[in-house]
Chains A and B, each alone.
Chain A
Amino acid sequence: MAAAEFETPKIREYPIIPRLQEGVMAHSKPYVAKPDFQEKLGYPGELVDNWKEVAIEKMGELTGKYRSLQVFLDSCVKCGACTDKCHYYLGTSDPKNMPVARQDLFRKVYRRYYTLSGKLFPKLVGAEDLTEEVLDDWYSYFHQCSQCRRCSVYCPYGIDTAEISMAAREVMDAVGKGQKYCNEIIGKVHVIGNNLGLPEPALADTLEGLEEDVEEETGVQVRFPLDEKGAEVLLVTPSADFFAEPHIDGLIGYAKVFHQAGISWTLSSYASEAANFGMFIGSYENMQKLALRIRQAALDLGVKRIVFGECGHAWRVAYSFLNTLAGPFDFLDPDYPVPQHICEVTHGLIEQGKLTLDPSQNDDMVLTYHDSCNVARASRMGDRPGGQFEIPREVIRSVCNHYVDMPSYSIGEGTYCCGGGGGLLTDDLIELRVKGALPRMEALKNVVDDYGVTHMAAMCAICKSQFSKVFPYYDFQMDQVVSVHQLVGNAIVLQPEEENRSEADQSEEAQDQAEAA
């Protein structure tokens, strides 16, 4: 499908809830997965002949496996509280992008086949047969949900459209109508270990290049180790950190933090991906299979801790699901949570005074911070609820002198998705991505105009890629999005002689040990 011409929404001074424009996004559909990619994940290659029966049966299977789905399908009272909460509705005006209307695409079929009222009085209760048109709508609108959970914050029953869209995608996979972007990526991770399909030699080469770059710039040899057995920390980071801007500057930041804190660490070529697209398609099995790679890498490398780099949905899977999917991690150091977020690590080191920081290195920027949806509403950092908001901000404030928050409705638990999350970060959905970014762009424009904000820090590979792409549509520059650890990396003061000293210390220590033995 050719990319349709579309108009970028206008940024308004205050957010306005749009009037409904029915069907304006019905054409927005991602490419369908090719048969061989479908089959690799254990799904039918293309739409099966008896797809209706398969879909309805799958629906019943899922309501029996997930309490969330069962309760959410029954409980909605159509109060309308969520109708103005989705960034895709706000950006497109398409009523089927209102969370409840999106859920109803699935709910009306559930009602028709699984409830007495829907079987007896379908018209009365809004139940509908599963038809080709309905499946078409599913494919379109369940790929216009970034599973950001904003709706679930505002629902009086906590109904989370993400759960419904995951179920719908799983049903579509089961009938052979999977999405190309997600399913191809999952296939790559199963075989190669990361979303990009970057094999070990290429990864090693990239990291070597980074070491040279950093040494050239700072005069200090900061290491980017790969597959080093016995390292203390296994760092699992989104593979975009290996090549994309501004992600790679974040990776440099992590390396500098570990370097200065004297923590030995390594990346793994086997588990070289933090993101877990298994969640996007609602597949417990795929999600678990991907998570087990991380367990395996931790075992093989004999590390003591697992730390995740900057990523949003990845941190959800890591924080909320990893222990369940791939635990118990009783072979790791019990003094640290499994897994840890890199911001938790850096924050702890800053509190202990183990990092030498010069915030004036970031004085060319006035920063704001975009809370990533899945970090904000589906995970935590630190010991206290809300740590996911405080810890990144405290890290940023420690390394920057100029920081301003965006309007309160657009941050914290009410943060807007970047517009590209949940398996939608693909060029065939560019119109949706641009329009879905509108609420965030308006909030950003607000602080740009009022406080002279020049850059927005983000902490998720998807957010960073998405903003780099859509900023120009809204007359921002693509380099106005920065990584949180890019700021940390800028501010860390590395001292070559300090490094020499610590090396000398180490050799002395080794000598002592040798003598003792």
Chain B
Amino acid sequence: MSVITIVFAVLFYVATAILLVFTAHKIWQYAKTPAPLKIPTTPAPTTRSGVVFRMIKELTIFESLFKSSKWTWLFGWMFHFGLLLVLLRHLRYFTDPVWGWVVFLQPFGKYAAFMMLAGLAGLWARRIFVDRVRYISAPSDHLMLLLLIAIGVTGALMTFVEHTDIVALKAFFLGLFVFNWSALPPDPILIVHLSLVILLMVIFPFSKLLHAPGVFFSPTRNQVDNPRERRHVADWATRLESTKTG
């Protein structure tokens, strides 16, 4: 067994653990932190099902962003939807046999890489050329785009230009699940691709990528507009209740 196989096997276990444990910790933190007042941005739905619909619109068509800036919306949506297709396509490397709908998505997932990269390029162009967006950008904001672009480019290179031994790669990942490791193909492009993915997994719970779980917990979007009908007292606020009369 090559050193590279052992290193990457260990790295994938560690990265997955970090991603899951720390992201779960963040989700737990968001869930347990009380939202002591009703603060939905109105007009807001007055029913739970209305809120679900509002959230689905935010998650699928980025409704608020669409209202806000058409270019950011376009590039952002291209990136996210492209990424979704690409990720779903990647399921074929982790499942055996490959699910039918993943097989169906294969051609879409392959070309979605270009949509994803075009979206990222557009977002980066905005970050560089729009003075307002440039002003609010920290180095990490640029590097995050660079990281995603590098992952996308190395992935697309393997899909369309310099194929790796995909059968061996799949054996490597399936082996990880059952702790029976098999050799990782030592192709340079693949090694770069996987290294960057590991880096992304590790920084996910410590970076702005937390917007992914965060969006589900945003009180301005996920609260029902019914404060006159229902009281909404947080635990820490109940101790203040004693001052009340009547």
Instruction: Write out, one digit per residue, whether chain A residues 274-303 have a CB within 8 A of any chain B CB (1) or not (0).
Output: 000000000011001100100110010000
Closest to B135 in A: A95
A184 near B: Cβ within 8 Å?
A: no
Q: How many residues of B contact A (CB 8 A)?
A: 70
Q: A75-B210, A292-B244 are in contact. Are A324 and B136 (CB under 8 A)?
A: no
Cβ of A95: which chain B residues have Cβ within 8 Å of it?
132, 135-136
**How far, in angstroms, from A112 to B76 measured CA to CA in the complex?**
28
* Cβ–Cβ contact A388 & B221, under 8 A: no
Whether B68 contacts A85 by the Cβ 8 Å rule is yes
Q: Considering only CB atoms, which chain B residue lies closest to A121 in the complex?
A: B140
Q: Is B163 an interface residue (CB 8 A)?
A: no
Nearest chain B residue, comparing its CB with the CB of A336: B228
User: Which stretch, A37-45, A59-67, A257-265, A448-456, touches the partner chain B?
Assistant: A59-67
Task: Identify the stretch in B7-15, B29-37, B110-118, B166-174 within 8 Å (CB) of chain A at 4 or more residues.
Answer: B29-37
Q: Which of B62, B64, B136, B246 has the most CB of A within 10 A?
A: B136
Of A8-16, A131-139, A326-334, A399-407, the one with at least 4 CB within 8 A of chain B: A326-334
> Quick check: A324 and B41 within 8 Å, CB to CB?
no
A163 within 8 A of B: yes
User: Is B214 within 8 A of A71, CB to CB?
Assistant: yes
A98 to B230 Cα, complex, angstroms: 35
Binds A, one of B42-50, B90-98, B151-159, B191-199: B42-50
Nearest B residue to A117 via CB reads B206
Report B6-29 CB contacts with A as 1/0, cut-off 8 Å: 000000000000000000001001
A351 at the B interface (CB under 8 A): no
Are B136 and A65 neighbours in the complex by a CB distance under 8 Å? no
Decide: A323 and B228 in contact? CB cutoff 8 A: yes
Interface-located stretch among B81-89, B178-186, B235-243: B235-243
Q: How far is the CA of A156 from the CA of B62 in the complex (A)?
A: 6
Asked whether, in the complex, the Cβ of B243 is within 8 Å of the Cβ of A126, the reply is no
- Cα–Cα distance between A338 and B240 once the two chains are bound (Å): 21
Residues of A within 8 A of B30 (CB): 67, 70-71
**Which of A47-55, A186-194, A374-382 binds B?**
A374-382
CB contacts (< 8 Å) of A35 on chain B: these are none
Q: Are B208 and A159 in contact (CB under 8 A)?
A: no
Write out the residue numbers on chain A whose beta carbons fall within 8 Å of the beta carbon of B130: 80
Provide the bound-state CA to CA distance between A459 and B140, in Å: 44
A377: chain B residues at CB < 8 Å are 41-42
Does the CB pair A80–B133 fall under 8 Å?
A: yes
A104 to B137, CA, bound (A): 10
Question: Please, which residues of chain B bring their CB within 8 A of the CB of A155?
Answer: 64, 68
Tell me, rounded to whole Å, the shortest Cβ–Cβ distance linking B34 to chain A: 6
Which residues of B have CB within 8 Å of A319?
Answer: 227-228
Contact with B along A444-478 (1 / 0, CB 8 A): 00000000000000000000000000000000000
- Counting CB contacts under 8 A, is B150 at the interface? no
Say yes or no for B218: interface residue by CB 8 A criterion.
Answer: yes
The 0/1 profile, CB within 8 Å of B marked 1, for residues 148-190 of chain A is 0100111111111001000000000000000000000000000
Among A64, A65, A160, A328, the residue within 8 A (CB) of B39 is A160
Which residues of B are found within 8 Å of A487, using beta-carbon distances? Answer: none
Asked whether, in the complex, the Cβ of A288 is within 8 Å of the Cβ of B240, the reply is yes
Interface size class of A (residues with CB under 8 A): 35 or more
Do A75 and B136 touch across chains, with their CB atoms under 8 A apart? no
- A356 at interface, CB cutoff 8 A: no
CB neighbours (8 Å) of B237 from chain A are 284, 288, 324
* A68: chain B residues within 8 A (beta carbon): 35, 39, 218-220
Instruction: Tell me the bound Cα distance from A74 to B212 in angstroms.
Output: 10
- Tell yes or no: A202 within 8 A of B by CB: no
Among B62, B67, B210, B236, contact of A74 (Cβ-Cβ < 8 Å): B210
A154 contacts B67, C-beta separation under 8 Å: yes
- Which of A64, A68, A331 counts the most chain B CB atoms within 10 A? A68
Name the residue among B46, B137, B138, B233 with the largest chain A CB count within 10 angstroms: B138
Residues on B with beta carbons closer than 8 Å to the beta carbon of A337: 228-229
Residue A76 CB within 8 A of the other chain? yes
Q: Which residue of A lies closest to B144 (CB)?
A: A77
CB pair B62–A295 under 8 Å, yes or no, is: no
Query: B133: which A residues are within 8 A, CB to CB?
Result: 78-80, 83
List B62-86 residues whose CB lies under 8 Å from chain A.
Answer: 62, 64-65, 67-69, 72, 76
A252 touches B (CB below 8 Å) = no
Asked whether, in the complex, the Cβ of A78 is within 8 Å of the Cβ of B141, the reply is yes
- Report Cα–Cα, A192/B67, bound state, in Å: 45
Whether A310 is near chain B, meaning CB under 8 Å from some CB there, is: no
A124 within 8 A of B: yes
Which residues in window 383-421 of A have CB below 8 A to B? 383-386, 388-389, 413-414
Which 5 pairs show the lowest CB-CB distances between chains A and B? A126-B138, A75-B214, A154-B68, A158-B220, A385-B43
10 pairs, CB–CB < 8 Å, chain A vs chain B = A63-B33, A68-B35, A68-B39, A74-B208, A75-B208, A149-B41, A154-B68, A288-B243, A319-B228, A413-B43
Given contacts A320-B39, A378-B42, 6 further A-B contacts (CB under 8 A): A19-B131, A71-B30, A74-B214, A153-B67, A292-B245, A413-B43
